[in-house]
Amino acid sequence: MSVNGRRTADTVLIAQLAAGRTQDEAARQAGVSPKTVERRLREPAFRAQVEAARREAVTRAVSVVAEGATAAAATLRLLLQAEAESVRLGAARSLMEYAIKGTELTDVLARLDALEARAREPAAAGRTNGHEHAYPTR
């Protein structure tokens, strides 16, 4: 197979595997043997490309969901004005639950950011990471 042929096959393999296809399905789509897929997956760089493609696909999907979340929240707010008390109660409960979960998640992420920033500070400041003792060495 030529270099360009391999690149094309790899591109198809990466896309197929990242999309969750079986090795046999990905091989068929890329026009290579299942043994070639097995061999490529033993290569760390190739596996990293598949994982990167999978993460990108998930990121795109989350973006689509996030766009819908705004509309869903607006719908819940409208349902607070519904005639049926059970509908208003359900909307109110949902809004409260999601507001609390969102606030908790935001707080945890802020704390994580602060911890990561502290971890990046130079060790020369005399702090330890809590797992080692600041005793002088011989």
pLDDT exceeds cutoff 50 at 135: no
pLDDT exceeds cutoff 80 at 133: no
Q: What is the pLDDT of residue 124?
A: 47
pLDDT exceeds cutoff 90 at 80: yes
Instruction: Using a pLDDT cut of 90, give the percent of the chain over it.
Output: 79
Mean pLDDT, the chain, whole residue set: 88
Lowest pLDDT segment from 19-28, 68-77, 127-136: 127-136
pLDDT (tens digit, 9 = 90+) per residue, 84-128?
999 999 999 999 999 999 999 999 999 999 999 999 987 645 555
User: pTM of whole model > 0.85?
Assistant: no
Among positive and negative, which fits the CA dihedral 29, 35, 36, 37?
A: positive
pLDDT exceeds cutoff 70 at 48: yes
Q: What would the mean pLDDT of 61-88 be, rounded to a whole number?
A: 94
3-class SS of residue 85: helix
Residue 16 contacts residue 54 (beta carbons within 8 Å): no
Residue 79 contacts residue 87 (beta carbons within 8 Å): yes
Comparison of pLDDT for 5 and 25, the residue scoring more: 25
Please list, in sequence order, all residues whose beta carbon lies within 8 angstroms of the beta carbon of residue 26, skipping any fewer than 6 positions away: 12, 13, 16, 17, 37
Q: What is the pLDDT of residue 32?
A: 95
Lookup result for tokens 């990561």:
116
Please list, in sequence order, all residues whose beta carbon lies within 8 angstroms of the beta carbon of residue 23, skipping any fewer than 6 positions away: 17, 34, 37, 38, 41
Q: What would the mean pLDDT of 32-57 be, rounded to a whole number?
A: 95
